[in-house]
Amino acid sequence: MILIPASNEAPRVGVVVQAALSSMPGVPVVVVVNGCTDDTASVAQAAGAQVIHSAPGYGRALLAGYRFALAQDNLGFLVQLDADGQHKAQDIPRLVAALAQADVVIGSRFASGGSASHWPRRRRWTTASMGVATSMVTGVHLQDVSSGFQAFTPNVVDFLACDFPVELTDANVLARLVRAGFVLKEVGVNMPDREGGLSMHGGWKSAIYTVKTLLALMMEYRR
Ligand SMILES: Nc1nc2c(ncn2[C@@H]2O[C@H](COP(=O)(O)OP(=O)(O)OP(=O)(O)O)[C@@H](O)[C@H]2O)c(=O)[nH]1
Ligand SMILES: [Mg+2]
């Protein structure tokens, strides 16, 4: 299953859904919405996605998607990507193929072959530093720990559906997965900036989120 959380992405989500459907013919694409004030849901549905509704927030949207995925017959894998055009559907098959060697595959701007265009320098350094902190805490070399482009085996989806911190969804989740014994791997992807609309990480919210994530990351190894 391909999972796309979307909040006010009507101008972008249709193309993303169509590209996801063509990247993996026969694999269902599910868009999770909540509280949109535009036509995201109807655009996604018209493009061929199944649309489900969740409680508010990005983390709760993902959690609803994981639970929905587990209720599907024969779930082979789950890939999640943004609805804003940042994650390229043509990379989905490479992430899925890499699940042969790992339980979690991260579409990574820092791994070999990866890149990011128009990535603000401040966010680049924040993400790189968070990668260093995550590697130190987990003992596993990880770089792009804030990428929302990820692929999971069904066992990981099962784990996340039961144990997912909906308020902080980045490096701390990866640390939790490492601690649970899952194998994580990064695959280089190109990730441009979002194609329009508003980021959930704008302005000061981003700095506060980073500090909270750092604390949550350290707490993962104290639990
Ligand atoms: N359903 C749902 N989706 C959300 C919510 N917040 C964000 N999203 C979606 O989740 C994805 C990730 O959010 P973004 O704002 O792109 O976060 P980001 O990629 O870290 O930030 P940018 O690099 O600025 O795009 C996008 O597809 C959003 O539309 C929410 O509250 N509910
Ligand atoms: Mg985005």
Tell me, in angstroms, the distance from the centre of ligand 1 to residue 19's CA.
18
Q: What residue numbers bound the domain in which 144 lies?
A: 2-220
Question: Would you give per-residue pLDDT tens digits along the chain (223 residues)?
Answer: 999 999 999 999 999 999 999 999 999 999 999 999 999 999 999 999 999 999 999 999 999 999 999 999 999 999 999 999 999 999 999 999 999 999 999 999 999 999 998 888 888 999 999 999 999 999 999 999 999 999 999 999 999 999 999 999 999 999 999 999 999 999 999 999 888 898 887 777 888 899 999 999 999 987 6
**Measured from the CB, is residue 82 less than 6 Å from ligand 1?**
yes
pLDDT of residue 201: 78
Using the atom order of ligand 1, give the atom closest to the CA of residue 33: 1
- Long-range CB contacts (< 8 A, 24+ apart) of 158-163? 158/70, 160/62, 160/63, 160/66, 161/63, 161/66, 161/67, 161/69, 161/70
CATH, residue 127: 3.90.550.10
The structural domain count of the chain equals: 1
CB atoms closer than 10 angstroms to residue 167: 13
Amino acid in position 133 = A
Instruction: Indicate the pTM of the whole model.
Output: 0.96
Tell me, in angstroms, the distance from the centre of ligand 1 to residue 200's CA.
5
**Measured from the CB, is residue 148 less than 6 Å from ligand 1?**
yes
Q: Which of 190, 28, 2 is nearest to 83 (CA)?
A: 2
